[in-house]
A and B are shown apart, each in its own frame.
Chain A
Amino acid sequence: MKAVSRVTGHALPLDRRDVDTDQIIPSDWLKRVERTGYGAGLFEAWCADPSFVLNDPRFAGATVLVAGANFGCGSSREHAAWALEDRGFRAVVAPSFADIFRSNCLAIGLVTTELPEVDVARILAAVAHDPSIEITVDVEWRSVAVPALGYAEPFSLNDASRARLLAGQDEIDLSLAHADAITSYESRRPAWLPRVRTAAG
């Protein structure tokens, strides 16, 4: 995972709530075994409509997606985060996110930023009107700034997530550093808990 301390860029305004992961990346793309190349499938069905915002050349090169509440609801497919990443997005701003989607984004260093619904509505309207408006999501200072609006507000990000983003830490390495605690826990597990016979057994 790449370290990220700050994202500054243009925004893509997606003024819809409950955007589900089936829209972000349709299931047909999930048959692939590769880790990259999902950008072309991002919002594939909606992109069939020429007036869909992702087709609008004024927003080409946007790195911050701004969307409605409950973004990323539905399936656990990390491919949704991969598709956004592959298409160049580095942060998503919304009033709320689905829990699994948020975890998946954190795992790859895509910053999810929750702001109050009225603030998101204001940013959506401003960006739709003027695509040149820049947004900065600052992980280090846990703040969002839209200078053109005179907007600068903090957002909530727990210490552990912030540290992971800033350092680009591999979470497996972090957990394996506690291998002794894992082994100790294993020695205390009740004997009757089920075990799958392994392939060899």
Chain B
Amino acid sequence: MSARTLAEKVWDDHVVRRSPGEPDLLYVDLHLVHEVTSPQAFDGLRLAGRRVRRPDLTLATADHNVPTTVGRPIGDPVSARQIEALARNCAEFGIRSYPMGDARQGIVHVIGPQLGLSQPGMLIVCGDSHTSTHGALGAIAFGIGTSDVEHVLATQTISRERPRTMAVTIDGQAPADVSAKDIILGIIARIGTGGGAGHLIEYRGDAIRALSMEGRMTVCNMSIEAGARAGMIAPDDTTFAYLKGRPHAPAGAEWQRALDGWRSLATDPDAPFDREVRIAAADLRPYVTWGTNPGQAVAIDGRVPDPNALADEASRASAWRALAYMDLRTGTAMRDIAVDTVFLGSCTNGRIEDLRAAADVLRGRRVRDGLRALVVPGSMAVRAQAEAEGLDRVFLDAGFEWRSAGCSMCLGMNDDVARPGERVASTSNRNFEGRQGPGARTHLVSPAVAAATAVAGHLASPADLSR
């Protein structure tokens, strides 16, 4: 067999049926379900008298519109109805669900890896675009719409055209202040929000290898913000050490068998990619977005760019509209932009390492007077671990709110909404207009920059605090 990439190997392993002129029918190893994109799919099953083919390969949790204020009931009756619908549907179709209040509840993309359910070589789908997160373990993982959720529930398969392959290689060692979030923001700033369209990205190179599993999840998470079908990283010893001993990871003799399979997944040395992008890690900086899509980012030492410097008319128009929405002027230093709110959390940066990075900056410091700051752990397990490490005290002493798990202010479907005009430094993944609330203005940042910004009251890096 000719040399193949990681993506091609995993894809080929899941082909149930291939026929010329048709998309491949692929087997789904794990289907994650949440309250927002599933109710209509379950209704469809009922209407057609169909059952869920593999409840044992399906896991549900409530994350998008759960309140994250500890002990608070769901205030919004529409949200309450949706969360009740999930519980009812899971009970009716025999699906395991981790509801609000369960110690295993959390954002789908945080709990999958945490439970050891997301493993190398698997094919994972969920009715959420940030499913690409699970690619960090060497899985093909992608988001689907509700019709496809119904299709997967009924058939445990999904029909997709084979994507093109793309290598994004980060050569060398990243500067010490460049986090995983900065790496992916730097990639998107270079290739654009549609730069990965039609492609499955494999992240490669020394700077990717050096990342922890949490960091790799942050990178793969935002593959969709580059328009990619999915993003993945070849499994290695970091992956295996992360997985070993997790509740759903193989154990005993099966661990060795699994390991042998996982080690064979890496891209063959001479396998060609349809497209290759190389970036020198040394060129990367801590980034912050200035606009209304994740590709509109500059280094924190930079200034709001001049849209007139952009090459094409459509991009210029888009940049001018973004500046108007964000109420920013060309040439303003990013560090001079004052923020009202800091949000630390989401499937992008709500894992334990993210909380540690922020806490390291916050120890012995206070949030700027009048600034609202909240930490929303990605899962109840992350919250418990952070408390065991005393991180909750660091956040509370600094003046942050310490919340329970959910998607929260990443998309403002619960009570955590920014007001019109409110400026938020956010560790989430999207700075779209109105994403965090109608009229709200979002700057995407890393956890360390979020923490430093909370202390300084304006966009800032940790190094700025000691200056």
Interface residues of chain A, those whose CB is within 8 Å of chain B, are 15-18, 20, 22-23, 26-28, 30-35, 45, 68-70, 73-79, 81, 96, 98-100, 103-104, 107-108, 117, 158-160, 171-172, 174-176, 178, 181-182, 185-186, 189-201
Contact = CB atoms under 8 A, between A and B. Distances in A.
B16 A185 contact: yes
Contacts of A77: 36-37, 145
Contact of B22 (A100, A104, A159): A159
Contact of B65 (A31, A99, A190): A31
A196 B144 contact: no
Interface of B: 16-17, 21-23, 25, 27, 29-30, 36-37, 39-40, 43, 48, 50, 53, 55-59, 64-65, 76, 78-79, 81-82, 85, 90-91, 94-97, 116-117, 119, 122, 127-129, 131, 142-148, 150-151, 154-157, 159-161, 193-194, 197-198, 224, 227, 229, 248-250, 254-255, 257-258, 261, 293, 314-315, 317-318, 321, 411-413, 430, 432-435, 438-439
A181 B227 contact: no
Contacts, number: 213
Contacts of A33: 39-40, 43, 81-82, 85
B184 to A, nearest CB: 16
Contacts of B147: 78, 104, 107-108, 171
A68 B314 contact: yes
A158 B194 contact: no
B145 to A, nearest CB: 3
Contacts of B64: 30
A145 B279 CA distance: 43
B55 to A, nearest CB: 5
A16 B250 CA distance: 49
A190 B16 contact: no
A26 B249 CA distance: 38
B434 A100 contact: no
A22 B144 contact: no
15 contacts: A17-B317, A33-B85, A69-B194, A69-B314, A73-B194, A74-B129, A75-B129, A77-B145, A98-B197, A100-B142, A174-B159, A182-B27, A195-B56, A198-B94, A199-B96
Contacts of A22: 411, 430, 432-435
Nearest to B36: A30
Contacts of B157: 175, 182
A178 B18 CA distance: 11
B155 A175 contact: yes
Contact of B122 (A32, A193, A195): A193
A196 B57 CA distance: 6
A199 B97 contact: yes
Contacts of B76: 31
